[in-house]
Amino acid sequence: MNTTLKRATIYFDPVLHHALRVKAAETERSISDLVNEAVQHSLVEDAEDLAAFEDRINEPSYPYEAVVIDLKRRGRKLVGSDTTF
């Protein structure tokens, strides 16, 4: 694997840039290190999500309306809703 670092220009929202500068100073790390870590973490999460989708590819899929009708029939609530079906 080539370990040569590549340069890129990234434009941050001023508030986000300030937060990065403060965190970099407090943790004695560079902004580049923080951004690299965050991007790597995001890509790992994406890979995990894709693997989970792949693992569940053969599970049955139900239309939303069918799930709502079934919940209503059984007298259940949707998560995060005050509505009882």
For residue 80, the model assigns a pLDDT of 62
Least confident range of 34-38, 63-67, 72-76: 72-76
Is the alpha carbon torsion for 49, 50, 54, 57 positive or negative?
positive
CA atoms of 25 and 33, how far apart (whole Å): 12
CA atoms of 17 and 11, how far apart (whole Å): 9
Q: What torsion do the CA atoms of 7, 10, 16, 20 make, to the nearest 10 degrees?
A: 0
79: pLDDT strictly greater than 60:
yes
Sketch the domain layout of the chain as residue ranges. 14-60
